[in-house]
Structure 1
C-alpha cells in the first residue's frame, strides 16, 4: 500500500504548495507579522510623542529629522508587508535583521531627543526580550551586545534637549512621569506580543513533534510493507500448487458426479483465486509490477467497480451502496485508494451484525475547495473509548488475534499522505462510522472533467 503513495501525494503537493500553519516556516512568518504590527504601534507612538513634546510641551525637537525617521519606518513596514504576501517562510536571519533595524531606529530617535537622559531609553529592553524569544541563541546574544553598545553610545553622544525655562523646577517630576509611561508601554507590549509569539513557537514545537511521530509511523509502515512483500512472494508457490490440485479434483469423476462435493471444490477454488488476487495486489502496491497501478476513470466508474469486486469476494455481506457525488468527473484511480476503502469495508463487515453501508458524497471544505467524502457505516457494537482515543495508532483493535489493529493505522497514514483526513465515531443509533475526506485536486485529471451522467 505504501509504495502507491508517491503518485497521488506528489500530484497533491504540486497543486497546493501550502505550508502548514504550524510548521517552522509558518511560525517565522507569523512572528514577522507580529514584528510588523509592533512597528506600526511604534510609528504611531513616536509620532504622537514627537508632536506632543514639540507642540504641547514646547520642547524644541529636530522635527524634520525625527519625522523623516518615522516615515522611514513606515516605508520599511510597507516593504515588509509586501514581502510577507509573496513568501511564506521567514528565516532567523531575516527576523534578526528586522530587530536590528528597530534598534537602529530607536537609537537614532533617542540620539535626537536627549540620549540616555530620555526616560524612554528603557525600550531597548523590549528589543532584548523579543530577540530572546524569537531568535536563535547566537543572534539573541548579538541583540544584547548591540543594544548595550547603543545604550553606551547614547550616554556619551546625544543631542541635548532644549527645555523651556518653565520646566526647570519640574524636570525631575517629568522624568519620573516619562519613566512610568515607558514602563506601562513596555508591560502592555510584552504581554500583548510575547504571549502571541510564544503561542506561535508552541505551535511550531507541536508541529515538529507531530512530524517526528509521523516519521516513526512511516518507518513502521515500511517494515510492514517489506514483510508483506516477502510473505506474498513466499505464498505464491503454495497457492499455485493448491490451484492446480483443485483443478485436478474438479475433473475427477467421483467429485464431478457429486454436486455437493463439486460445489465445495468450486468454493475452495474461488477462495484460492481470491488469495492469489490479494498476493498480486500486495506485489503491485510494493512496486513489483506498476504498469497499471494508476488508471484514468470516473468517480462513479471507480466506486461501482470497487463495490462489484468487493461483493464478489464477500458474497455473504449485505452492502448498501449510495453514491451522492452529483455530476461525475474524471479522476486517476490509484490502487492505494481502492485498498483504503476495501480495508474500511472489511473492518465494517467483520464488526457488523447486519448491514454495511458505503456513502459517497462531494463536499466543500473550510477554504472552499471540493473534496471527496467517503462514509462507511456498520451495525456492530461500535468503537470502545480507548480505540477511539487511539485511532491511527498501530495494534489498537477489538480483535484478539496477533497483528490486529493495523487496518485503521494504514488508512490514517495513507490519507495523511494524500492530504485527506479520517474521522471515526460511534453512531447515536448504534454501530460505528468512519468518514474519509480527500481533496478532489489529488485525484482529478488535469483540465479534464467527465460529463454529467444524470445521477
Structure 2
C-alpha cells in the first residue's frame, strides 16, 4: 500500500497557523471598531476627521485580512518571520490611523500595548524585542507633528472629560481583547502539548511493536526447523502398516498433518510480512473482491456456526492488498468469533472516500474499562498471558494506514467494532494519476 500523499504539518507550524487566524480575528474587530469610532466622532461629536485617508487605512486592514485568509487556505507553512511581519503591518496601520486622529493625544494610543503583548506571546524573543523598538519609535513619532483635529467652537469644556472617557473605553477594550486572545493562544498551546504527548505515546508504542516484530520474526525462524522435522515424522508414520490398518488413528494423523501445515503457513506468513517478501505479495485487486475473498477464506478456515456478511461498498475501487491488511481484518473476525461462537455479522460500506467495516457479535460486550483502554497492549477480558496484543497490533497497523478502530456495545447485546480506512492510502493509483 502506498503512503499517503498529504503533507504532515509539524506541530509548531500548526500552532503558528492557528495564531495567524487569531490575528485575522483581531483585525476584523479592529476594523469594525475603527469604523464605529470614526462615525461616532464625525457625526455625533461633530469633530471633523479626514475621512478618506482614515477610510483607506480601514480598507488596507481589510485587504490584509483577506490576503492572509487566502494564504492560510492554501496551506503554506507559517513561520515566525511571517507572524512578525503581520504584527509590524498592524502596528504601521494603527500608527497611520492615529496620525490622522490626534497622534499621541488620542486615547486609543494604548492599543500599542496590545500589539506588544501579543508579540511577546506569539513571537520569538528577537522579533518581539524588535517589535517593541518599532512601536516605541512610532509612539515618539506621534508625539511630534500630526494632523490636529478640528474641534467645534466651544468644545473646550467637554474635551477633557471626553478624553478621559475615551481612555477608559480603550482600557476596557484592550483588557477584554487581551483576556480573549491570550486564552485562545493558551488553548493552542494546550492542543500542541496534547499532540506532542500523543506523538510520544505513539513513538513508544511503535518501539514496542518493533521489538515484538523482531521477537516474532526470530521465533518464526526458530520454529521452522522443528515444524519441518515434525512434518517428516508424521509423513513417515502415516505410511506405517499399524497406522494404515486403523482408520481412526489414520484420521487423527490426517488432522495432525492439517494443523501442522497450518502452523507452517502461519510461520511463513510472519516471515513474509516481516521481510522483503512482503512487497512481493502485494497484489492489485478491488475493495469488493478483497473483502469477498477474505470472508470466503476465513469461513473455510474457521468454520463459524453463522456469519452474516453484507458487502455494501459501492462503487467498487481498485486497491493494493498485502497479507498484513488481510491479517488485520481477519484478527477482528477472530476476536468476534471467540466472544460469540454462535453468530457474527460483517458489514462493509463506503462513506465518501473511506472504507467502513463493521464487525458485530452477540458476546458479553466490553466493560467500561476495556472501552476506555481499547487498543492498548495487554488490555483484554480473556485473562490469559499476552491477551490484548492482537488488538493492539491491529489498532497500530490501521493507524499507520491513516484509519481508526473503535468499539462500542450494542443496544441488543454484544459488541460492535468499526474499522475505517481511507481509500487514498489503499489506492492502486499513483499520485500523478499513473
> TM-score, normalised to structure 1's length?
0.86
Distance (Å, rounded) in 2 between the aligned partners of 1:192 and 1:245: 78
Distance 1:437-1:41 versus aligned 2 partners, 3 A rule = same
Structure 1 unaligned spans of 5+: 1-6, 448-455
Displacement of 1:379 after TM fit? 2.6
Asked whether the 8 Å contact 2:217–2:270 carries over to 1, the reply is yes
Distance 1:157-1:341 versus aligned 2 partners, 3 A rule = same
Partner of 2:107: 119
What's the secondary structure of 1:445's corresponding residue? coil
Instruction: Work out which of the residue numbers 363, 366, 390 in structure 2 matches 1:380.
Output: 363
Instruction: Work out which of the residue numbers 154, 171, 175 in structure 1 matches 2:142.
Output: 154
Distance (Å, rounded) in 2 between the aligned partners of 1:61 and 1:168: 17
Instruction: Work out which of the residue numbers 247, 250, 254 in structure 2 matches 1:266.
Output: 254
Count residues in correspondence: 430
What's the secondary structure of 1:398's corresponding residue? coil
Distance (Å, rounded) in 2 between the aligned partners of 1:398 and 1:156: 78
- Residues 54-78 of structure 1: CA distance to partner in whole angstroms, max 9, x if unpaired? 4543434444443333333233223
Distance (Å, rounded) in 1 between the aligned partners of 2:40 and 2:279: 77
Distance (Å, rounded) in 2 between the aligned partners of 1:106 and 1:173: 24
Partner of 1:38: 26
Distance 1:216-1:341 versus aligned 2 partners, 3 A rule = same
Partner of 2:183: 195
- Residues 286-343 of structure 1: CA distance to partner in whole angstroms, max 9, x if unpaired? 1241353211122332223222322333346644433232444332212221011111
Distance 1:375-1:51 versus aligned 2 partners, 3 A rule = closer
Asked whether the 8 Å contact 2:304–2:343 carries over to 1, the reply is no
Structure 2 unaligned spans of 5+: none
What's the secondary structure of 1:374's corresponding residue? strand
Asked whether the 8 Å contact 1:96–1:135 carries over to 2, the reply is yes
Partner of 1:398: 381
Asked whether the 8 Å contact 2:375–2:388 carries over to 1, the reply is no
RMSD: 2.5
Distance (Å, rounded) in 2 between the aligned partners of 1:293 and 1:135: 50
Partner of 1:341: 329
Matched, 1:443 2:426: yes
Instruction: Work out which of the residue numbers 161, 165, 172 in structure 2 matches 1:177.
Output: 165
Matched, 1:249 2:237: yes
Distance 1:327-1:56 versus aligned 2 partners, 3 A rule = closer
Asked whether the 8 Å contact 2:366–2:415 carries over to 1, the reply is yes
